[in-house]
Amino acid sequence: MVVIPEITLCSCEKTMPVIGMGTSVYPPADKETTKAAIVEAIKAGYRHFDTALAYGSEQPLGEAIAEALSLGLIKSRDELFITSKLWSSFADKDMVDLQLDYLDLYLIHWPLKLNQNVRSMPTTKENIFPLDIKSVWEGMEECKTLGLTKAIGVSNFSCKKLKELLSTAKIPPAVNQVEMNPLWQQKQLRDFCKAKGIHITAYSPLGANGTKWGDNRIIECDVLEEIAKAKGKTTAQVSLRWVHEQGVSLVTKSFNKDRMKENLQIFDWTLTEEESNKISNLPQRKGFLFANLLGPHDFILELDAEI
Binding residues for substrate: 109
Asked if 34 contacts 57 with a C-beta cutoff of 8 angstroms, the reply is yes
Asked if 17 contacts 6 with a C-beta cutoff of 8 angstroms, the reply is yes
CA distance 299 to 281: 32
To the query of whether residue 203 is one of the catalytic residues in this protein, the response is no
Distances, alpha carbon 40 to alpha carbons 35, 55, 104, 262, in Å: 9, 19, 21, 13
Which of the residues 26, 46, 55, 203 is marked catalytic?
A: 55
Q: Which residues are annotated as a binding site?
A: 109
Indicate the residue type of 194. Answer: K
**DSSP one-letter string for 92-119:** SGGG---SSS-EEEEEE-SSEEE-TT--
Count of C-beta atoms within a 10 Å radius of residue 120: 5
Q: Which residues fall within 8 angstroms of residue 95, CB to CB, at 6 or more apart?
A: 139
Q: So which residues are the catalytic ones? A: 55
